[in-house]
Amino acid sequence: MNNWTSHSENNDRILDWSTGGLLPCWAEALVKLGFIFARDIELYPLSHATLAISLPRIEFAALFIALGVLKWKAGKGAQQEGVDKLRSMLGTWVSYESNGITRVGRLDYVPQSADYCIKILEFKGRKLPNFEELSFEARKNYNPPKSGGLWHFVTPPFWPTVKPVGREFNEERGARADQVKRIASAARNSEVTEKIVGPGRQHWLMTSREKPVCIFGSKSRLAEELYENISLARSSDKFRLSDLLRPVGANEYAASSHVLIGSCANMAQVDSETICVIEAGRLLEDNLRSSSGNNRVVLLAHSVPSYEQTAHIVKNAYFRRMADFVLEFGYRLTHIETLSFSHK
C-alpha cells in the first residue's frame, strides 16, 4: 500500500501552504487539502485519485480547494521562474531568509531546475555596508569581506526571498494617468494576494494561462461566492476569490484565467491533467463516470439534501477502488472528514 503523505508533515511546513491565519481555519483547511492533493497526485501520475471531503456546508468549499491547487501550481511555476532569476545573480552578493532571519551571503550554485537546493556561502560576523546607498552594479560586485566558510543550502520555497542585496530599481517609463491608477490598484491587490497565496506566487497567477482546475457545481452560487468581498482576519484588507482564481469567461481575467466553472447537469469533458472539483448532488453517479479519467475532489456537504445518497455513492466507489492503492491524508480537521482512494 502506498502512503502518499507519510513524507508530508515536514514538507507541508516548508512548502508554505498556510495563509498565516488570515483565513478562518475551515477555509485554510480546504486550501491545504487542495494543495496537498495537487502535490501528491503528481507523485503518482499513472493513477487517478478521488478525494472525498465531508463538510458541513457546500458554499465556498470548491473555491478554496481550487485555491489550494493553484497555490501548488503557482509555487511550482514560481520556482522555475526563480531558477532563471537566480542564475542571473550567480556569484553575487545576496540577501535571503532562513528561519525567519534575513541573512546575507554569496550565491555560489543554482541548479537547472527547482528540484534541488541552491548554495549560498553564508557571511557572518562583520558589519555590512549600507546597501541602500550602493548602485545596483556596485551591489552585484560587492565582495563580502570574510566568510565563515559555511554553505547554506536553501530550499525552493525560500528562493523568492533571495534578492540582490539592497533594492532593485526598474527603468522608469512614461505612463498615462489611467495606467498609473491601474498599476497602483494592482499593487494594492497584489499585497493582499501575496498575503493569501504566499510570496512569489502572484506573478504566476497574473501571467500564467494554465487551467489546472475545473469546478462542477451550481454556477450561479459559485459566481456569487467568487465576487463576494471577504475580510481577512486581523486585517482591514478584503479580497475577492475571483482575483485569485481568475475564472474562465470573465473578461477582466481573460489573459490569465485558471479555473473553469461548469454545471453538474452538463459536465463538459476536460483535459485529463485537470483536477475536477465536484459539488456532489443528485447527478453524482453520472459525474463520477464522466470524470473517471481525471483526478477529482468530491465535496459532500451535510446541508445538501442528497448528502446521504451521494456519500453512499462515494463509499461504493471506495469499495471498488484499486485494491492495493489507498491514499492517506495525514491531515484532517475535527469537523471535516476525508476519504481518498485511487479510482483508476
Partner 1 sequence: MNFKQIGAIHENARHVAQDGLWVELVDFPELTTFDRARRALAELVKQHSLQGPWNELILAFKITHAWIARTPCRPSWLLKQEQFRVHYQKLELISRASLGSVDPSVRSAFESVVHALQLLVKIETNPVAIRAGSLMSTFRIGSKSIIVTRDTRVWDECREQLSQQIPIAKFDIRKPAELRDHPSVDYLVLFGPPWVLKYRNESFLLGSPVAPCIWMVFCRHEHIGVAPRTILDEATNHVLNGVDQLLPDIETNLEYESELISQHRAFVLKHAQDPNRTGIMDAEDKTVVLPLVLGGGNGFYIQEEGVLYTAKTGFEIGQRPCLAVERVDACEIESGMLVLLTTEGGGDMIPHEADALLGREAKPIRELELLWKQKLSDEVERSGVTVVAQYLGTTAQNIKNWCNPRNIAPEKLEDHLLPILELIGLKDLYEDIVEAIGKLRSAHQSAGMRLQMHLLKSLKGLDLREAYVNGFQDIRDKAGGPVKTLYFVQDVHELVEVPARLVGRLLDLEEEEQ
Q: Residue numbers of the site for partner 1 (CB under 8 A)?
A: 24-27, 52, 54-57, 59-60, 218, 220, 225, 228, 230-231, 263-265, 281-283, 300-308, 311-312, 314-315, 333-335, 337-339
Q: Give the sheet arrangement for strand 163-164, strand by strand.
A: 150-154, 118-122, 101-109, 93-98, 163-164
Rounded to the nearest 10°, the torsion over CA 168, 86, 210, 338 is -110
Of 53 and 110, CB closest to partner 1? 53
Three-state DSSP at 279 gives: strand
Rounded Cα distance between 1 and 145, Å, is 54
Those residues whose C-beta lies under 8 Å from the C-beta of residue 18, and which sit 6 or more positions away, are 28, 32
Residues ≥6 apart with Cβ < 8 Å to 135: none
Specify the amino acid at residue 45: P
* CB of residue 36 to partner 1, shortest distance in Å: 17
Q: Which is nearer to partner 1, 283 or 327 (CB)?
A: 283
Nearer to partner 1, 79 or 218 (CB): 218
Query: What's the closest the beta carbon of residue 42 comes to partner 1, in angstroms?
Result: 25
Amino acid at 32: K
Ranges of H-type helices in 216-306: 219-226, 241-245, 284-290
Report the residue number, 9 or 224, with the smaller CB distance to partner 1: 224
Among the listed residues 4, 32, 33, the one whose alpha carbon sits nearest the alpha carbon of residue 16? 32
Tell me how far, at minimum, the Cβ of 153 lies from partner 1, in Å.
39
Is the Cβ of residue 271 or residue 308 nearer to partner 1 in the bound state? 308
Find out whether 37 and 4 touch, Cβ atoms under 8 Å.
no
Taking the CB of residue 277, how many other CB atoms lie within 10 A of it?
28
Q: Which helix (H) or strand (E) holds 163?
A: strand 163-164
Q: Least distance (Å) from partner 1 to the CB of residue 339? A: 5
Kindly report the backbone phi and psi dihedral angles of residue 149, in degrees, each rounded to the nearest multiple of 5, phi listed first.
Answer: 75, 15
- By C-beta, is 335 or 344 nearer to partner 1? 335
Shortest approach of partner 1 to residue 144 CB, angstroms?
49
Which is closer to partner 1, CB of 25 or CB of 90?
A: 25
| Residue carrying C-alpha cell 463538510 | 55
Smallest distance from partner 1 to CB 57, Å: 5
Closest distance of CB 63 from partner 1, Å:
10
